[in-house]
């Protein structure tokens, strides 16, 4: 009678049972006295409500954590973009001291510049060793004229930032392209020689036919 004397009181008892206002076991004993089925239904109600509350609270915390993680990710991405622009500007500025307005840097000037602490420091921030930078220069120099555009080399360095394994891959790809270019040039020469040879044979055959 104390807990379920009326409908409003019964609703209040159920509410207090799941919020800690009363010990739900005390309410459950009253229901068990009425009948086991009522006690079972009451315990089922408590179980469902507890799990529902847990899910709601968990969902709130998880959602908040996801939002914070996304905000942190966005902030880190913005910071990374700013750092990338700063490094790219610094690297380009160093090389432009050598190009004399031509926009090109030679391998000789490049290797000499590698002795400068400023450039070594920039490469360290890019995650590149000095030897890897030299290999990258040679790999980008497909036509092997020991000269590169400053912008091309700077972009190549930025694309490989902090990816040591990727440096090796790019070097292999550039070397493969270089070999393919040489093969293409050799094939063109051979095709030209074959064309000349076929024309000579045709000329000889035509001369013999006239005789």
pLDDT of residue 127: 72
pLDDT of residue 98: 60
Residue/partner pairs of 106-113 with CB below 8 Å, 24 or more apart = 106/146, 106/147, 107/137, 107/138, 107/141, 107/146, 107/147, 107/148, 108/146, 110/134, 110/137, 110/148
Tokens of 74: 């966005």
Return the half-sphere exposure (C-beta side, CA atoms, 13 A cut-off) of residue 37: 0
d(CA 140, CA 153): 7
d(CA 183, CA 14): 85
Let me know if domain 79-178 sits in CATH 1.10.10: no
pLDDT at 40 over 80: yes
- pLDDT band at residue 3 using 50, 70 and 90 as cut-offs: low
**How large is the C-alpha radius of gyration of the chain?**
39
- pLDDT band at residue 118 using 50, 70 and 90 as cut-offs: confident
d(CA 157, CA 136): 8
Tokens of 114: 């590698």
pLDDT of residue 168: 64
pLDDT at 44 over 80: yes
Domain boundaries, the chain: 7-74, 79-178
The pair phi, psi for residue 171, each rounded to 5°, is -60, -45
pLDDT of residue 205: 61
For residue range 70-116, list pLDDT tens digits in order: 777 777 777 777 777 777 777 777 777 665 666 777 888 778 777 77
Tokens of 151: 């912008």
């Amino acid at each position: 009678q104390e807990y379920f004397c009326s409908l409003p009181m019964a609703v209040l008892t159920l509410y207090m049972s799941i919020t800690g206002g009363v010990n739900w076991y005390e309410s459950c004993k009253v229901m068990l006295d009425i009948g086991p089925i009522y006690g079972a239904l009451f315990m089922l109600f408590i179980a469902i409500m507890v799990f529902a509350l847990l899910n709601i609270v968990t969902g709130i915390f998880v959602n908040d954590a996801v939002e914070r993680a996304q905000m942190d990710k966005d902030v880190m991405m913005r910071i990374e973009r700013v750092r990338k622009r700063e490094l790219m500007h610094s690297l380009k500025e160093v090389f432009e001291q050598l190009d004399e307005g031509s926009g090109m840097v030679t391998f000789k000037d490049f290797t000499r510049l590698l002795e400068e602490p400023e450039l070594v420091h920039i490469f360290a921030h890019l995650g590149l060793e000095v030897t890897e930078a030299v290999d990258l220069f040679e790999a980008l120099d497909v036509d092997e004229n020991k000269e590169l555009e400053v912008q091309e080399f700077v972009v190549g360095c930025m694309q490989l930032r902090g990816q040591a394994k990727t440096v090796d891959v790019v070097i292999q790809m550039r070397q493969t392209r270089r070999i393919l270019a040489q093969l293409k040039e050799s094939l063109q020469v051979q095709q030209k020689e074959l064309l000349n040879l076929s024309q000579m044979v045709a000329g000889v055959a035509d001369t013999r036919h006239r005789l």
